[in-house]
Amino acid sequence: MPVVAQKNPTFSDIAKRLDPNGKVDIIVETLKNTNEILEDAVVLEGNLPTGNKTTMRSGLPSVAWRMINQGVQPSKSTTVQQTDNCGNLEAYAEIDKDLADLNGNTASYRVSEDSAFLEAMNQQMANTLFYGDTSKNPERFLGLAPRFNTLDVKKAASAENVIDAKGTASGKLSSIWLMCWGAQTVHCFYPKGSKAGFVHTDKGQVTLQDGKGGNFEGYRSHYKWSIGLSVRDWRYVVRIANIDLATITDDALIEAMVSAVESLPNQNLGKPVFYVNKNVRKRLRNAIRRADNVHLGIREVAGKKVVDFDEIPVRRSDALVNTETRVV
Q: What is the chain's pLDDT, residue by residue, as a tens digit (328 residues)?
A: 434 445 555 555 544 544 444 454 455 555 555 567 877 899 999 988 888 888 776 677 888 888 887 888 888 777 777 889 999 999 888 888 988 888 677 877 787 777 777 788 888 989 999 999 999 999 999 999 999 999 999 999 999 999 999 999 999 999 999 999 999 999 999 999 887 767 888 899 999 998 888 999 999 989 888 999 999 999 999 999 999 999 999 999 999 999 999 999 999 999 999 999 999 999 999 999 888 899 999 987 767 788 999 999 999 998 999 999 999 9
Which of 91, 265, 82, 264 shows the shortest CA–CA distance to 189? 82
CB contact at 8 A, 223 and 93: yes
Helix (H/G/I), strand (E/B), else coil: 305: strand
Rounded-to-integer distance, Cα 129 and Cα 126, Å: 5
CB contact at 8 A, 204 and 67: no
Write down the pTM of the prediction.
0.83
Burial group, residue 214, by CB count within 10 angstroms (0-12, 13-18, 19+) = exposed
Instruction: Please give the distance of CA 266 from its chain centroid, rounded to a whole number.
Output: 20
Which of 240, 242, 266 shows the shortest CA–CA distance to 254? 240
